A = this chain, B = another copy of it.
Amino acid sequence: MPQKKPVENDKNQLTHFDTSGKAHMVDVGGKSETHRIAIACGTIRMKPETLAVVENHTADKGDVLGIARVAAIMGAKRTSDLIPLCHPVALTRVTVDFTITENSILCQARTETVGKTGVEMEALTAVQTGLLTIYDMLKAIDRGMTITDVRLLEKSGGKTGTWNAENRN
């Protein structure tokens, strides 16, 4: 039996606009406070020799990924400052992991709250800030790096329940 997909809104109506087309910060006052989790990921692709420098800089020689992780966590906390219609959210947890593959670094961020609205944007902002920080530290040796495949992997909590990228429509 296929997994039941979460209810989505009417495809012709964006919740961030009222019926006359004006943007607003959506009313979440009536939503219940639930435990909400989001997991997002993204990748930065680079030349193998650039990647070798990163691998050489995780300990005494300067911790590229350690700094990117701090930036990602701090970025998650700035989400509602950056994204105009995002609600301020009291994050209760943020974790950020990096995985080095052949020619890229994968960043995965997990954000959580107990609140009235989801934390998908916080997870995505963490990923973007982490990857931009890697770009910044490496750009002197490789300006051609590309940030790619930034997306939501999973979210749970709230009225629409659990969603994951595998089973989406």
In the complex, A23→B70 CA distance in Å?
A: 7
Contact across chains for A92 and B116 when beta carbons are under 8 A apart:
yes
Interface size class of A (residues with CB under 8 A): 35 or more
Contact across chains for A90 and B89 when beta carbons are under 8 A apart:
yes
Tell me the minimal C-beta distance from A47 to chain B in angstroms.
Answer: 8
B residues less than 8 Å from A24 (CB atoms): 73, 93-96
Q: Is A129 an interface residue (CB 8 A)?
A: yes
Q: Is A100 an interface residue (CB 8 A)?
A: no
Tell me the minimal C-beta distance from A39 to chain B in angstroms.
Answer: 12
In the complex, A80→B75 CA distance in Å?
A: 11
A85 CB contact (under 8 Å) in B85, B89, B136, B147: B136
B residues less than 8 Å from A87 (CB atoms): 90-92
Tell me the minimal C-beta distance from A145 to chain B in angstroms.
Answer: 7
Most buried by B among A56, A128, A137: A128
Q: List 18 A-B contacts (CB under 8 A).
A: A8-B140, A14-B140, A17-B62, A20-B60, A21-B62, A28-B92, A59-B59, A67-B70, A75-B82, A77-B81, A77-B88, A78-B78, A87-B91, A90-B90, A121-B136, A143-B163, A146-B149, A146-B150
